Each structure stands twice: as C-alpha cells, then as structure tokens.
A and B are shown apart, each in its own frame.
Chain A
Amino acid sequence: MGRCCGKCWHSLEYPCRNYVRCRTEGPLCHDDQRCRTLRSERIRYIKEGPNGYRIKVPLASCSIAAGAKEVLNAVKEVVESLGIPSDAVKTVGCTGLCYLDPWLELKAPGMPVALYGNVKPAEVEGILKKYFLENDVSGAYAIGERTGKAKGEGDVPTLSELDVWRLQVRYVSRNCGVVNPESIEDYIAYGGYRGLDRALRMSPEEVIEEVKKSGLRGRGGAGFPTWLKWRICRNQPSKEKYVIVNADEGDPGAFMNRLLAESDPHRVLEGLIIAGYAVGATKGFIFVRAEKPLMAERLQKAVEEARKHGILGKNILGRGFDFDVEVILSAGAFVCGEETALIAAIEGRATPRQRPPYPAVVGLWGKPTVINNVETLAHVATLMAEGWESFAAYGTERSKGTKMFCVTGAVKRTGAYEVPIGTTLRTLVERIAGGVKEGRKLKAVQIGGPSGGCVPAHLLDTPIDYESLRDAGAIMGSGGIVVMDDTACMVDVARYFTSFIVAESCGKCFPCRIGTKILYDTLTRITEGEGTLEDLEILEGVGRVVRDASLCALGGTAPNPVLSTLRHFRDEYLAHIIDKKCPAGVCTKLLKYRINPDKCVGCGTCAKHCPAGAISRDEKSGKYVIDQEKCVKCGTCVTICPVNAVMKEV
C-alpha cells in the first residue's frame, strides 16, 4: 500500500490526491511499466488468489457461532499437503446466506467457483481433495459459471439459477463474503473509497445534490430523506458539527447492520466520511453496541487502517478536509436507536428529547448533528462511486433503491437478503427464503421488530415499501422480518414484544412508562386464562393513547404489535378469553400436561422439580403421573424431562 518505488512521492505527510485511483489504475504520479505490472498483479492476487487458487472461509459472528473457526483450522491443516499455496486461504465476511453457515468457497484455475454449505471440520479434507485433485464439483451447494472442465458440473446449480441469489440485487452487500473485512487494501482493490474520491472532487453542496437525486431515504426505519437531513445540518451556522453512525441495531431479530459492519466495514466508514464532508463536520462517531463485540472490533480496525493510509485525519486525499472518527461503545439500551436518545447516551444517560428542535439543528453537545444508519451510509458510499442513477434504477416512485432484510423464524433459508424496495413479501419470504418448513403453514410475517406489526398470510402480496406496509398495519423498520408458522401464538408474540418495550422504556413520559406496563399486564392475564372481553377494549384504548401521546418513537410505536395482532388475529384473542384455550399450544397456563406412559422411564426428575408437588409415582406401573387438580401449569416438567415424555395438550 505504500510507495511502489522511489519515484512515487505519496506519503501520509503529502497525501496524494489520486491515491485511491492510483491503487487500482496506477501508478499515476510516474510512468513505469514495471510498477504498473506490479500493481495489476497485486490486484489480480487480491482478487483471484495465488495462481488463481482460492479457499474462502467466512469469519462473521454467525459463521463463527456455527463453527467456522474449526473449519478454518481444518483447512489450514490440509491445504499444503494438497499442493495448494497456503496464502490461497482467505477469511471473508458473511454473504447473508446464513443457513449455509459455515460455508467454503473454492476456486482453482479453469474450474468454476464452487460453494459448499454446512461444512463440518471432518469433511474439509474430502471436499478439498475432490475439488482440487479430482476436479469434481459434485456435492457443492452451487457453482459460479460453468467452464465445461469440471466433473459433475451439470448436476450442480449455478448461483444465478437459484432464486435465493437471482432475485437479490446486491447493491451495498456486494462485498460481503467477497473481501477480507480486516484489509483496507482489499476494499480498495475492489473499488472501495471511489465514492469518497469522487465526493472530495465535488463541493459539499454538489454531494448533497447527488444524494437528493438518488432519492435515498434513511434505512434505519423512519425513511427520512437523507439529503434533507444533511442540508438542514449544513445550513446551520455553527462551526462545530458532528456526524454519527447509528450502529446500535437494537431490534431483536435484525442483523443487517451487524452483517454489513462485520463483512464490509470500510464501506460504512466511507459513507460516514462523505457525510462529514457534506455537512461540514470535523468529527464523526460510530455508536456501536457492546453486545456485538466483533462488529465493534471490525469497525475499530477499519478506523485505524483508514488513519494509517490517510483516509482519515488531516488533509484527507490532499483535499484540505480534516476529519476523524471515534468508536463509542453503547452499554445496551434499545432506546438509543432513537436519535435524541443516542445523543443523550453519548452525553450521559439515554433519555430522548422532545423534538423540534431536531438533532440536525441542535444535537450532540448542542451542535448540529446528523445521525445516519449503517445501511444508509453504505448506500451513500456506493451511490457516490457509481452515480445516483445506479441507485435510483431500483425501487418505487416514492422509495428508490434497494434495502437489506433479515428473514428469520420459521423459514427454510434464514439469512440477510438485499432486494429492491417494492418487492413483495411473498417473493422475499417464499421464493428467496424458501417459505415455511415442510408440514407447517405460514401464519404471519412480523416486520419492524418491537415497533412493527404482523402481516397475516393473506396479505403476503403487499409490496415492501414504507406506505404499503403502514397501511397493512406494520412498518418497514430497520428490516427485520420474522416469519411465523402455525406453532406461534399471536397473543404470546404481542406479549413478548410488549415485555421488551416495558424493559427498555426510559421512563421519562407517563404514557410509555405506565401505559406499556398496563398493556403487558393485560396481555399476561389473557395468556394465563384470566382475560375478559373488557380487556380488549383496554388494549385498544390504552394502545391508542400510548401511540399518540408518547414523547418519542419508542412509546409511539410500542402498541403496534398489540394493535396489529388485534386487528388481524382477533379470533386468537377471543379463543384465549372466551374458550380459555391457546390454539397454537404455546401459552403454558392454558395447556394440559400429561405424561406419556410409553416414554416415561420412571426417573422422577419431573416430580423433583414440580413446584406444586403435583407429580407422583404410580406404585403399580412405576411411571409418574400428573395430578391435574394440583397442576399449576408452569410447564417445567415438559422441559426438564430427559426423555421428552411429557405431552402438551391444547
């Protein structure tokens, strides 16, 4: 990354204006065929590996949890014995196809790229041998383009033939699973920091204009036009301004930001620097959750690398722009996702403020501050590099571009997928994520986390855009989508989300602090069989007021899960209240528990742990029996039985 030879005059003290372009097209400051060859060979080495050999292993949180480190060790052990150069092994981020974790991607010259899913360390040697020594791709999950030279090529689908890949538009996620996230050189080789380079050649006003033309709206959930937020901040007279990346990602069930930040952190950083330039800030912050440690580490590393190469600091790329970034660890509070609370968290305690004035006018330490989501900034970096038209080519009239969504829950293929806005839920859930598992029925799709709502199965053709989802009773949110099948109880789901909100409420205003607790207590009564029809009126009335009267969006969206499930799944509420039954078999207090005598081994563990002393040993059979009169329906016996002999009956 440094000087290629004595003739090159680039250094940190004298940053070269063409540094970024020089890295891929150069050298530009002097004309030397040998340097040029060296440079292009370096790029080829980065992109294709030594002599065209590549073994990619993912190292993101989800992959590591699935055992990627063990797979990596297995690869390292055998790689040389197979005659493959050891530097062919490259650690990358996550592609978003999390259901394949841990995966391996192999490439040899002349062979198609092959992707192997759910790899166990013991299988590594066999897989590598087959691919590299026998030129055989059978057993792979998918391959790249067919070359005609590999055995079994015809039987393995190409990625472009699979819906899960074909229907995605990987605009910001293009590098995820491709580059080494801990290497700035990789990022630049793949076209990184071109956006910053181009932005610094324009005036800040022109940068804002470019973002305006693209139509980018905040990807954190509110969907506020990014250019407008920047312009308001830019127009403030203060000399001190700040830009902050909201990498807090508090939504349970959403991990798009974590994925982006772990797999392509430089893209996010680039967006932040561009934002700083556009509004006139000299300091940026990355506010990241301590509970996602790898995300924080990779972002911190990206900042350090950027500093080393003059992308951060004084006189960036020789354009007279000073900017530096600090990574701040949040201590874990959902409300920090709210802008004013985030600012307050950096200042001390996270309680939101009444707006107006908005943070762009009065923000961190009273100065104008712009807060953007991780994905928004990744889009900024990409569209600045490729032009606003590349972004606006996708999406709908009112919401342009693509968005990443995490589809989890009862689907076959859980993962993070990027699609154009306006794609229908059905495409995302059934075609890309594969729909629900065999034998189950799709019941609802929950979008937007604790601030969102549940869309029932019959509304699955709703396009995913801000307005359509709002009409259906949900919100786009940050992109977390949880698919529920018939084993999910919608009242339990509403209670689960409300319990989350109750715990995360900051306590500043009455409606959220007290109202959400009333909602939670009412829902608990309903799930325990003590609900009345009046409770439904309480839920709706209190829900309305909490929604309209709360100080910030946490309280303002808190009733959404309750109100949307009441609207679309009222019959389930009525079953709990009138019939005292939980049709999905989830609410422990409404089920009957019986020990299956065929499975019972007579160990007595259940009796030992039964808090009501309702289980006793039948002397004749030696098996254990539950006394239904004494049973308090806690469900402990179900989970504690070592042989799963306790049955739940609706």
Chain B
Amino acid sequence: MVRVIVNGKEVHVPEGETILTALKKAGDAVPTLCFFGHMYREASCRMCLVELSNGKLVPACAYPVSDGLEVRTDTPRVREARRTVVEFILSIHRIRCWSCPRKGGNCELLKLATAYWVEGIPVCSSCPLYGKDCLVVKGEPCLGPITLAGCGDPCPSNGSPCIGCRGPVTRRDVLEAAAQFYVSNGVELKDVLEVASMFWEGLPNYDALKVSLEEAFKKALGGGTG
C-alpha cells in the first residue's frame, strides 16, 4: 500500500493505482469527462487536473501514485485550468439544448459550467419539459432557448414560460438556431421581444441583442441576409 496525501488528508491505496483512486478514497472527487475505466484513460480532456506539491498540474485519471505523493484538488490554478477547459469545450459545442437528449438535468457540461461559473448554456438544458410538453412546441414565447441556465427552472416546471431573469445567451449561432426553433413552432419575434423586454430592457447589450434576434428570425424565415 502507498501513502498519498489528498488535500492534507492521508489515505492508503494499492501500488500501481492512479491518483483518481486515492481521491475517491479520500472523498474529494474531481470532475472527469473522458475517463472510462479500462476502456479509455488517455487523459485527453484535462478536466481531472490536480496540483502536485512541485506546482505541476497532472491528470488524476492517469498519473500513478507514489509513496508520499501530495495532491491538491482545489487550488486557484487548478480551478482556472478547469474553468478554461470548460470554456474551450463550450466554444466548440453545438448548443441545441431544446432538442438535446441530455436535457432535463442530465447534461454534464451544464453541471461543470455551473460548478466553474461559466455562462453560455440556455435554460432548456435543465428544463424538465421535453417533446410535446415543451412550451415553445406549444407555441408559447418561452425565453428558455435564449436565456442563461442556472435558476433551477421554477417557471417552466410550473407551466409558465421562462421570462429570462438570468440574462440572455449572446452567441450568434445559438440565437440563429433558437430562431429556427421558434419559427418552426409558430412563435413570432414580436412575442419573444415583448417577454424579453420585461427583464432585459436596460441591459447594456439589449439593443445589439434585439438586432441579432431580428436578423436571426429573418434568416429563419428564409428572407434574411444569409
């Protein structure tokens, strides 16, 4: 057995194990994305990084333990690294939460984004309404697809359309896809803007956002700038 110090706590794990095993034993979990037991442990996603006493950041899922190894799971550098990795992932992720099978609280990205304070995922990601229960599908101007997630969805869960209290999603590609979603369900721009102005009027980027939404809807309706 090998002695490992996790955040100041001593645990013992068999030799040949990875830091991840030691962390689990100590009860200090770190997020993993690509780790899949014996099938995949190539340390590609870099989410499970922990800090060693010499300052190096190493992936817990692949780094072997050694006697006296000291690891920290929650230092500022580790947090910055994890947050930036989530930002990287989101920057290339195709956000279509309203039709994603992970919707309703099963989205790992949403969990990570919330844990590391990264904004960009819309309310639909955690909203429990799906398919024909979705308020947009019913033709209502629910702001879920263009509002930032994180409130716990009390409004849509209780049958009331989202009113955007956490602020808008600003990524152009998401707005365009959302406009498509609205249009295909017969929701009109003016209704969306009427609800949006309740909480968003007065926000510094609201005018720019209105322009983006107008262009997105125009594009979705087929007569746009393309």
User: Contact residues of A with B, CB < 8 Å?
Assistant: 353-354, 356-357, 508-511, 514-515, 518, 541-542, 544-545, 548-551
Can you give 29 A-B contacts (C-beta < 8 A)? A353-B42, A354-B42, A356-B63, A356-B64, A357-B64, A508-B42, A509-B43, A510-B44, A510-B45, A510-B46, A510-B85, A510-B88, A511-B85, A511-B88, A514-B89, A514-B92, A518-B91, A541-B80, A542-B84, A545-B80, A545-B84, A545-B85, A548-B77, A548-B81, A549-B46, A549-B81, A549-B84, A551-B43, A551-B46
What 6 A-B pairs are tightest by C-beta distance, nearest first?
Answer: A545-B84, A514-B88, A354-B43, A354-B62, A549-B81, A549-B46
Q: Across the interface, name the chain B residue whose C-beta is closest to A351.
A: B42
User: Known contacts being A514-B92, A549-B57, A549-B85, is A509 close to B80, with CB within 8 Å?
Assistant: no
Chain A residues whose CB sits within 8 angstroms of the CB of B42 once the complex forms: 353-354, 508
Chain B residues whose CB sits within 8 angstroms of the CB of A357 once the complex forms: 64
Chain B residues whose CB sits within 8 angstroms of the CB of A542 once the complex forms: 84
Q: How far is the CA of A514 from the CA of B86 in the complex (A)?
A: 11
Contacts A510-B46, A518-B88 aside, 16 further interface pairs with beta carbons under 8 A come to A354-B59, A508-B44, A510-B89, A511-B46, A511-B84, A514-B91, A515-B84, A541-B80, A545-B80, A545-B84, A545-B85, A549-B46, A549-B81, A549-B84, A550-B46, A551-B59
User: Does B49 touch A at the CB level, under 8 Å?
Assistant: yes
Q: Which of A541, A542, A548, A550 has the most CB of B within 10 A?
A: A548
Q: Which of B46, B59, B62 has the most CB of A within 10 A?
A: B46
Is the CB–CB distance between A544 and B91 below 8 Å? no
In the assembled complex, the CB of B154 is this many whole angstroms from the nearest CB of chain A, namely 34
Chain B residues whose CB sits within 8 angstroms of the CB of A354 once the complex forms: 42-43, 59, 62-63
Decide if the interface of chain B is mainly helix, strand, loop or mixed: mixed
Q: How far is the CA of A551 from the CA of B85 in the complex (A)?
A: 13
Chain A residues whose CB sits within 8 angstroms of the CB of B63 once the complex forms: 354, 356
Q: Across the interface, name the chain A residue whose C-beta is closest to B56.
A: A548
In the assembled complex, the CB of B165 is this many whole angstroms from the nearest CB of chain A, namely 27
**What 0/1 readout, one digit per residue, does chain B (32-66) give for beta carbons within 8 Å of chain A?**
00000000001111100100000001010011100
Chain A residues whose CB sits within 8 angstroms of the CB of B62 once the complex forms: 354
B-side interface residues, number (CB < 8 Å): 20
Chain B residues whose CB sits within 8 angstroms of the CB of A549 once the complex forms: 46, 49, 57, 81, 84-85
Q: Which of B46, B49, B85, B88 has the most CB of A within 10 A?
A: B88
Chain A residues whose CB sits within 8 angstroms of the CB of B45 once the complex forms: 509-510
Chain B residues whose CB sits within 8 angstroms of the CB of A548 once the complex forms: 57, 77, 81
In the assembled complex, the CB of A532 is this many whole angstroms from the nearest CB of chain B, namely 15
Q: How far is the CA of A514 from the CA of B62 in the complex (A)?
A: 22
Is the CB–CB distance between B81 and A545 below 8 Å? yes
In the assembled complex, the CB of B173 is this many whole angstroms from the nearest CB of chain A, namely 15
Docked complex: B60-119 residues within 8 A CB-CB of A: 62-64, 77, 80-81, 84-85, 88-89, 91-92
In the assembled complex, the CB of A510 is this many whole angstroms from the nearest CB of chain B, namely 5
In the assembled complex, the CB of A24 is this many whole angstroms from the nearest CB of chain B, namely 50
Chain B residues whose CB sits within 8 angstroms of the CB of A509 once the complex forms: 43-46
Q: Across the interface, name the chain A residue whose C-beta is closest to B49.
A: A549
Q: Across the interface, name the chain A residue whose C-beta is closest to B88.
A: A514
Q: How far is the CA of A514 from the CA of B44 in the complex (A)?
A: 13
Q: Across the interface, name the chain A residue whose C-beta is closest to B85.
A: A510
Q: How far is the CA of A549 from the CA of B57 in the complex (A)?
A: 7
User: Known contacts being A356-B64, A551-B43, is A515 close to B77, with CB within 8 Å?
Assistant: no
Q: Across the interface, name the chain B residue whose C-beta is closest to A357.
A: B64
Is the CB–CB distance between A541 and B84 below 8 Å? yes
Chain A residues whose CB sits within 8 angstroms of the CB of B88 once the complex forms: 510-511, 514-515, 518
User: Known contacts being A356-B64, A510-B88, A511-B88, is A551 close to B44, with CB within 8 Å?
Assistant: yes
Chain B residues whose CB sits within 8 angstroms of the CB of A508 once the complex forms: 42, 44
Q: How far is the CA of A545 from the CA of B88 in the complex (A)?
A: 11
Q: How far is the CA of A550 from the CA of B92 in the complex (A)?
A: 17
Q: Across the interface, name the chain A residue whose C-beta is closest to B46.
A: A549
Q: Which of A356, A357, A510, A515 has the most CB of B within 10 A?
A: A510
Q: Across the interface, name the chain B residue whose C-beta is closest to A513.
A: B88
Q: How far is the CA of A510 from the CA of B45 in the complex (A)?
A: 6
Q: How far is the CA of A358 from the CA of B88 in the complex (A)?
A: 28
Q: Across the interface, name the chain A residue whose C-beta is closest to B66.
A: A356
Q: Across the interface, name the chain A residue whose C-beta is closest to B55.
A: A548
In the assembled complex, the CB of B45 is this many whole angstroms from the nearest CB of chain A, namely 6
Q: Across the interface, name the chain B residue whose C-beta is closest to A511.
A: B46
Q: Across the interface, name the chain A residue whose C-beta is closest to B86.
A: A510
In the assembled complex, the CB of B51 is this many whole angstroms from the nearest CB of chain A, namely 9
In the assembled complex, the CB of A22 is this many whole angstroms from the nearest CB of chain B, namely 50
Chain A residues whose CB sits within 8 angstroms of the CB of B80 once the complex forms: 541, 544-545
Q: How far is the CA of A357 from the CA of B64 in the complex (A)?
A: 8
Chain A residues whose CB sits within 8 angstroms of the CB of B44 once the complex forms: 508-510, 551
Q: Across the interface, name the chain B residue whose C-beta is closest to A555.
A: B46
In the assembled complex, the CB of B76 is this many whole angstroms from the nearest CB of chain A, namely 11
Q: How far is the CA of A138 from the CA of B133 in the complex (A)?
A: 96
Q: How far is the CA of A514 from the CA of B64 in the complex (A)?
A: 27
Q: How far is the CA of A515 from the CA of B90 in the complex (A)?
A: 12
Q: Across the interface, name the chain B residue whose C-beta is closest to A551.
A: B43
Q: How far is the CA of A511 from the CA of B64 in the complex (A)?
A: 22
In the assembled complex, the CB of B164 is this many whole angstroms from the nearest CB of chain A, namely 25
Q: How far is the CA of A514 from the CA of B46 in the complex (A)?
A: 12
Chain B residues whose CB sits within 8 angstroms of the CB of A550 once the complex forms: 46
In the assembled complex, the CB of B9 is this many whole angstroms from the nearest CB of chain A, namely 24
Chain A residues whose CB sits within 8 angstroms of the CB of B89 once the complex forms: 510, 514
In the assembled complex, the CB of B119 is this many whole angstroms from the nearest CB of chain A, namely 16
In the assembled complex, the CB of B87 is this many whole angstroms from the nearest CB of chain A, namely 9
In the assembled complex, the CB of B98 is this many whole angstroms from the nearest CB of chain A, namely 25
Chain A residues whose CB sits within 8 angstroms of the CB of B84 once the complex forms: 511, 515, 541-542, 545, 549
In the assembled complex, the CB of A260 is this many whole angstroms from the nearest CB of chain B, namely 33
Chain B residues whose CB sits within 8 angstroms of the CB of A514 once the complex forms: 88-89, 91-92
Q: How far is the CA of A357 from the CA of B66 in the complex (A)?
A: 13
Chain B residues whose CB sits within 8 angstroms of the CB of A356 once the complex forms: 63-64
Chain B residues whose CB sits within 8 angstroms of the CB of A544 once the complex forms: 80
Q: How far is the CA of A98 from the CA of B102 in the complex (A)?
A: 62
Chain B residues whose CB sits within 8 angstroms of the CB of A510 once the complex forms: 44-46, 85, 88-89
Chain A residues whose CB sits within 8 angstroms of the CB of B43 once the complex forms: 354, 509, 551
In the assembled complex, the CB of A407 is this many whole angstroms from the nearest CB of chain B, namely 33
In the assembled complex, the CB of A20 is this many whole angstroms from the nearest CB of chain B, namely 44
Chain A residues whose CB sits within 8 angstroms of the CB of B85 once the complex forms: 510-511, 545, 549
Q: Which of A353, A357, A550, A551 has the most CB of B within 10 A?
A: A551
